[in-house]
Amino acid sequence: MMLLDTHAILWWILDPDKLSTKAAEICNTLDRTSASLSSVSIWEIGIKIKKGKLDIGISIEDFTQRLKKLGFIRIIPVDEAIWIRNLSLEWDHTDLADRTIVATAQIENLPILTKDEAIHRFEGVKSVW
């Protein structure tokens, strides 16, 4: 089981050539191994669509429904435990989504599939790319 960073889910679906060899191998087995996604990633994708920085060809609502229909990606809601962990991270990184994804990974005890170097450098979570 793996927690997918926002760009990992987008690249897997929209532009798989951007994935590393290892990331592509992991994504290509998700239908057998399953994965998780923080709901903050849905928010992050929606913000990018709304600002015109991302076009996925469908609405964020349809995108979310399609993810759910896959049946092997669990969308983890951001609850108060995740927000509290986010606030308590000993990490000077200020990106809300990254902090929330890391907090979710810690609470769920999951490695993160991410290219993000800031997350890779953070010692409080395992990351793979």
* Residues 81 and 107: beta-carbon distance below 8 Å: yes
- CATH 3.40.50.1010 for domain 3-128: yes
Show pLDDT as tens, one digit a residue, over the chain (129 residues): 999 999 999 999 999 999 999 999 999 999 999 999 999 999 999 999 999 999 999 999 999 999 999 999 999 999 999 999 999 999 999 999 999 999 999 999 999 999 999 999 999 999 999
pLDDT at 3: 98
Those residues with Cβ within 8 angstroms of residue 69's Cβ, 6 or more apart along the chain or in another chain: none
Q: How far is Cα of residue 117 from the mean position of the Cα atoms in its chain?
A: 14
